[in-house]
Amino acid sequence: MTVACVLLGGIGRYYVRMLQQEAVAESMANLGGRVYYEHEFALTRELLLQDPPGPSWLRDLFGENLFATLHSAEVSARTGEEDRAVEALHLLEQLPDLQTLDLVEVPLGRSEVEVLVALPKLRQLTISDCPISDENWQRLMASRSLEIVSLSYKDLHPAKIASLRSLPSLRELEIWTHRNDPASVEAIFRELQTLQQLKSLALRTIPIDNKQMVAIAQLKELRSLDIKWELQSRFDDEGFAALESLRHLTHIKLPLARIGGASMEVVSRMPSVETLEIPGSFIEDDDMVHLAGHPSLKRLDICQTRITDEGLQHLKSAPQLCELGLLPDWGVAVTMDGLKDAGFIEYDSRVIMQSKWFERTPPAARTSK
């Protein structure tokens, strides 16, 4: 009897929480917002085809989301209905387990910021052109849980970046801005250099030259660098060479970078690199020899480059390489026979610079069997 009472009491608590979550989800939808359960979306925004957690027979009895947790939310005021967006944001007070939040053009006054700071598990926050005063921005920096921040402002003031130093748990930062005058760009990178705790940095629509690459290289704890293609950027092999000092760097994504063989030689001296995505770069067949013996490289995107079957021959001996991205059906010199000879087979098509991905069992794994 005691066990039955404890079980029913536990289910009762879950049931009450489920009803509250579903009421919030419905109210959010009515106000133009959206919420996602933890089993539906990963932090990467990739759709997860998973069943809700918990025994299916209990979910059949009490509801599909009995054990599910509302984990992510989106609130947007793009329609011009700021009041509805603000009302939706205040509903988040009822979701203490919320971990990820996207805000688009939502006015952030003092009470709205207090809601955000009070969310105990909020670890990822995206702010896109949300009006906020300097005073309220400083209040937002009082969050103790934020680890991942994405800032998207047409006119991003460097002071906002400087204040991120107040976030003790900040590890990942993404910046979108259309400020491209030299003085603003220099100020942004000057403040970025102070965020020594960063492990991941993604930069969008910001023109970058060799000087800015040197500034990025001051972030000694950096594990991941992602610079979205920006035709105004002018960094080249000289700028890439600055990254050699980042001994922990494992993921490098530089689409349309103006780099070639000299940069591949630098990569050969960076033993921690596992992912190298450089579609549209200036690399050629002979440059692949620098990657052949790389001890850690697992994923390489070389689509829209000058690599041919001859270049793939150098990759046959790459000890860990198991994923290759390129476009063999765009009239380039890489052929399916060349891919098969190097041990790669097609396993997936993805929209990453329109590249296709191929996989293989790397030589090191084959040897260890």
Lowest mean pLDDT among 207-216, 246-255, 270-279, 320-329: 320-329
Residue 50 and residue 3 in contact, taking contact as beta carbons nearer than 8 Å: no
Token output for 232: 């105004």
Q: Residue 368 above 80 pLDDT?
A: no
What does the pLDDT look like over 260-304, one tens digit per residue? 999 999 999 999 999 999 998 999 999 999 999 999 999 999 988
Question: Quick one: pLDDT band at residue 12, thresholds 50, 70, 90?
Answer: low
Q: Residue 43 above 60 pLDDT?
A: no
Q: Residue 365 above 90 pLDDT?
A: no
Tell me what the mean pLDDT of segment 71-91 comes to: 86
Q: Establish how many alpha carbons lie within 13 A of residue 331's alpha carbon, considering only the half-sphere containing its beta carbon.
A: 0
Q: State what percent of residues in the chain have pLDDT above 70.
A: 80
What does the pLDDT look like over 48-70, one tens digit per residue? 556 666 566 555 566 556 566 77
Instruction: Please report, in angstroms and rounded to a whole number, the separation of the first and last CA atoms in the chain.
Output: 54
Q: Residue 318 above 50 pLDDT?
A: yes
What does the pLDDT look like over 158-214, one tens digit per residue? 989 999 999 999 999 999 988 778 888 899 999 999 999 999 999 988 889 999 999
Give the chain as a 3 state SS string: CHHHHHHHHHHHHHHHHHHHHHHHHHHHHHCCCEEEECCCECCCCCECCCCCCCCHHHHHHHCCCCCCCEEEEEEECCCCCHHHHHHHHHHHHHCCCCCEEEEECCCCCHHHHHHHHHCCCCCEEEEECCCCCHHHHHHHCCCCCCCEEEEEECCCCHHHHHHHHHCCCCCEEEEEECCCCHHHHHHHHHHHCCCCCCCEEEEECCCCCHHHHHHHCCCCCCCEEEECCCCCCCCEHHHHHHHHHCCCCCEEECCCCECCHHHHHHHHCCCCCCEEECCCCCCCHHHHHHCCCCCCCCEEECCCCCCCHHHHHHHCCCCCCCEEEECCCCCCCCCHHHHHHCCCEEEEECCCCCCEEEECCCHHHHHHC
Backbone angles phi, psi at 334, to 5 degrees: -75, 130
Tell me what the mean pLDDT of segment 150-164 comes to: 91
Smallest CA-to-CA distance from 125 within 106, 105, 150, 88 is with 150
Tell me what the mean pLDDT of segment 9-29 comes to: 66
Smallest CA-to-CA distance from 106 within 124, 125, 119 is with 125
Q: Which residue has the tokens 């033993």?
A: 271
Angstrom distance (rounded) from CA 260 to CA 29: 49
Give residue 2's pLDDT: 53
> What pTM value is reported for the model?
0.86
What does the pLDDT look like over 120-147, one tens digit per residue? 999 999 999 999 999 999 999 999 999 9
Question: Quick one: pLDDT band at residue 15, thresholds 50, 70, 90?
Answer: low
Angstrom distance (rounded) from CA 227 to CA 216: 11
Which range has the top average pLDDT, 9-13, 38-42, 168-172, 305-309? 168-172
Token output for 159: 């002071």
Sign of the torsion formed by the C-alpha atoms of 193, 194, 199 and 200 = negative
